Structure 1
Amino acid sequence: MRAVIQFPPISPEIFSIELFGFDFALRWYAMAYIIGILIGWRLALMAVKAARLWPDNASPMKPAQVEDLLTSVILGVIVGGRLGYVVFYQPAYYLAHPLEALMIWQGGMSFHGGLLGVIAAGLYFCARTGISKLHTADMMALAVAPALFLGRVSNFVNSELWGRPTDLPWGVIFPDRAAQACGPFIDICARHPSQLYEAILEGLLLGTFILWLVWRRDALKKPGIIMGTFFAGYGIGRFLVEFARQPDAQFITLENPLGLVLQTGGYGFTMGQLLSIPMILIGIWFIIRARKA
């Protein structure tokens, strides 16, 4: 038998309690976001307090304003992430069941939608405070990687967003739902642990590179470089992982087993790739613009 990795016996819930007939559970996914946001907040505070990192050695905002921005960002992630999932991935279903679009506890969030929500929150914050948009965007970009890393690891723990079937030795046999989706002709369905691929590319490597640019290369002195690096880096990482990631079920048919949303001649792009291409182009544009300034 070929080498495979059995999915570890990890519960999606850290603990649960019953109160007044209702079950209340703390899930790893929620904890990942809480810890990721706290780490990002601390990174942003450290950058704000280090005036030498910014143009003219002057920090663009005060520590109290970082907390104000954090509140707006959290709201933007929740609202934008949910709306993005509804619009990008299952518009027909939620058009027929509009009230379910509000039921975020049932799952279904889109990173690209959450990103748009964060952008909207950042623009609102800048309009209200008069703080530079590029400085604000750079600071948010340097703080987001920990939440991305922990969020993707929690996707793995939840056994969701798994990858395509593979015969590579690090293929993981996920629980029943993923195995059954492989079809009746495969005895053992090992899949790419694409959640961990994303955690490494989008969280660990990209986050480490951004911190190196900030603290070792004075990148914040050129407004827009850190934001551009995040956009391009995330877009490239997500585009590549899509080759190993199982597409959403609503895009898969017998004629289109790869779940390509835009295709011609058997080649094309998944929804994740289609949404990542603008990120890559926008990121590259901001990097070039900042370096020329």
Structure 2
Amino acid sequence: MALPALPFPLIDPVAISIGPFAIRWYALAYVAGLLGGWFYAKRLAARADAWAPSPQPKPVDIDDLIVWVALGVVLGGRLGYVLFYNLGSYLAHPLEIFAVWRGGMSFHGGFTGAVLAIVLFSRSRGLNPLAMLDMAAVVTPIGLFFGRIANFINGELWGRPAPDFPYAVVFPHAGPVPRHPSQLYEAFAEGLVLFVIMAFAARRFGFRRPGLLGGIFVLGYAVARIICEFFREPDEQLGFLFGSSVQALGGGITMGMLLSLPMAVVGAVFIWMAARGYTRPAPRPEPA
């Protein structure tokens, strides 16, 4: 017998509205993630003992970096969604590409954009790109947590049908079927759990092995995302990519799973390289 589902909380997606000017929770989630990451990164950058032999970033470097990362996340996230999740629709209506306030962001695209921004910024300031990526990896779960909470508030990216699950939710735009609140699963796994793991790794290893923390994050995110994808409904325009032959896995392979597999491989490779010392920079000579 199907269990009664939880009603979806009636939270207005618009947090603040003043006349025609509206601020959505989705936008506030990005702001909270960036500000939280900026604050935490400032603290990490201040630990002089955690950086040698890589150059230690200055406070002004962190202030400037946040602007680069914000642009990388937004541009990369939107481009990734357009290319991998809804290319046909955007080709038919190209102006919709710029309507970012209507939603449609890809983590994998935003991640790629942020990585490129950090690498370019680090090279322009004489910093170690891998070490700076490690610092970014430690703070990124903050943004992931707030972003997934905003997805839940928007009633988007809902989970798969779960009529026998006691905490299933009936989402307003997903029909009458009770579904997994997969956004909250992702907030927990990709946000809280990964934040704790990365905070512990940063305290234990610092940034003395460039690429190690970044590898841990990439591998950890890929594993968390693949697990959560088993509870998340795939995007309507894509469906299951390889569903007919792998029904035993709970419904098939999704685009999120497919994009996470190379991330897991890259993360494991960087962990191995950093542990073997292949990424460790040579000590800087002392000034005469």
Return the TM-score normalized by structure 2: 0.90
2:269 match: 285
In the alignment, is the contact (CA less than 8 A) between 1:48 and 1:59 conserved in 2? Answer: no
2:118 match: 122
In the alignment, is the contact (CA less than 8 A) between 1:239 and 1:272 conserved in 2? Answer: yes
The CA deviation at 1:30 is 1.2
- Say whether residues 1:170 and 2:167 are aligned partners: yes
2:256 match: 272
Q: Give the alignment partner of residue 44 of structure 2, picking from 31, 43, 47.
A: 47
Structure 2: state its 5+ residue gaps.
Answer: 278-288
Tell me, what secondary structure is at the counterpart of 2:10?
coil
The CA deviation at 1:126 is 2.0
Q: Give the alignment partner of residue 232 of structure 2, picking from 230, 240, 245.
A: 245
The CA deviation at 1:233 is 0.7
How much is the aligned-residue C-alpha RMSD, in angstroms?
1.5
1:192 match: 180
Matched residues, percent identical? 45
Tell me, what secondary structure is at the counterpart of 1:168?
coil
The CA deviation at 1:127 is 2.5
1:34-55 deviation digits (Å, cap 9, x = unpaired):
1111110011100111112223
Equivalent residue pairs, number: 271
Partner amino acid, structure 1, of 2:46: K
- Say whether residues 1:260 and 2:251 are aligned partners: no
In the alignment, is the contact (CA less than 8 A) between 2:5 and 2:170 conserved in 1? Answer: yes
The CA deviation at 1:218 is 2.4
2:214 match: 227
1:10 match: 11
Tell me, what secondary structure is at the counterpart of 1:25?
strand
Alignment of 1:132-151 (within 5 A): 132-151=128-147
Partner amino acid, structure 2, of 1:209: I
Return the TM-score normalized by structure 1: 0.88
1:154 match: 150
1:202-243 deviation digits (Å, cap 9, x = unpaired):
01000111001112x124222111101110111111111111
Partner amino acid, structure 1, of 2:200: W
In the alignment, is the contact (CA less than 8 A) between 2:55 and 2:128 conserved in 1? Answer: no
Task: Give me the whole-angstrom Cα distance separating, in 1, the residues matched to 2:119 and 2:49.
Answer: 25
Task: Give me the whole-angstrom Cα distance separating, in 1, the residues matched to 2:34 and 2:55.
Answer: 21
In the alignment, is the contact (CA less than 8 A) between 2:55 and 2:127 conserved in 1? Answer: no
Alignment of 1:78-117 (within 5 A): 78-117=74-113
Task: Give me the whole-angstrom Cα distance separating, in 1, the residues matched to 2:206 and 2:269.
Answer: 16
1:26 match: 23
In the alignment, is the contact (CA less than 8 A) between 2:17 and 2:23 conserved in 1? Answer: yes
In the alignment, is the contact (CA less than 8 A) between 1:219 and 1:225 conserved in 2? Answer: no
